[in-house]
Amino acid sequence: GIQVEQSPPDLILQEGANSTLRCNFSDSVNNLQWFHQNPWGQLINLFYIPSGTKQNGRLSATTVATERYSLLYISSSQTTDSGVYFCAVEDGTASKLTFGTGTRLQVTL
């Protein structure tokens, strides 16, 4: 099956800093989504982005499907951005998403 690798595995930022999270995948995809899991375990969908660029407030994402990677940008980070960020991809089978192991982000004051 398709492989999904996320980097870095852990990231500590000071509030106000910017960061870039990366997701590499091993095959062409029809569907790519980014999720944030907050410290209470809730999973929130950030972006549906199989290709191109999207922005939502301080967050933006870019997927370069031909080169098999996606980037999530967090600008002016806040403590509420803490948690785990997951990339998930689907390679064409009934919208079944395969998840990466995540990037754990801690934003400190």
Partner 1 sequence: NAGVTQTPKFRILKIGQSMTLQCTQDMNHNYMYWYRQDPGMGLKLIYYSVGAGITDKGEVPNGYNVSRSTTEDFPLRLELAAPSQTSVYFCASSYYGAWDEKLFFGSGTQLSVL
Q: Contact residues for partner 1 (CB under 8 A)?
A: 1, 4, 31, 33, 35, 41-45, 48, 86, 88, 94-102
Nearer to partner 1, 5 or 75 (CB): 5
d(CA 99, CA 13): 24
Of 83 and 100, the one with the shorter C-beta distance to partner 1 is: 100
Distance in Å, CB of 99 to partner 1, minimum = 4
Is the CB of 45 or the CB of 108 nearer to partner 1? 45
**Min. distance of Cβ 16 from partner 1 in angstroms?**
28
In this structure, the strands spanning 19-25 and 59-64 are: unpaired
Residue whose structure tokens are 């982000």: 105
Taking the complex as a whole, how short is the minimal distance between the CB of residue 27 and partner 1, in angstroms? 16
Buried b (16+ CB within 10 A) or exposed e, 60-78: bbbbebeebbbbbebeebe
The residue behind tokens 């031909």 is 66
Rounded to a whole number of angstroms, the minimum distance from the CB of residue 59 to partner 1 is 14
Nearer to partner 1, 31 or 106 (CB): 31
Task: Please state the separation of Cα 34 from the chain's center in Å.
Answer: 4
- The 3-state DSSP class for residue 91 equals coil
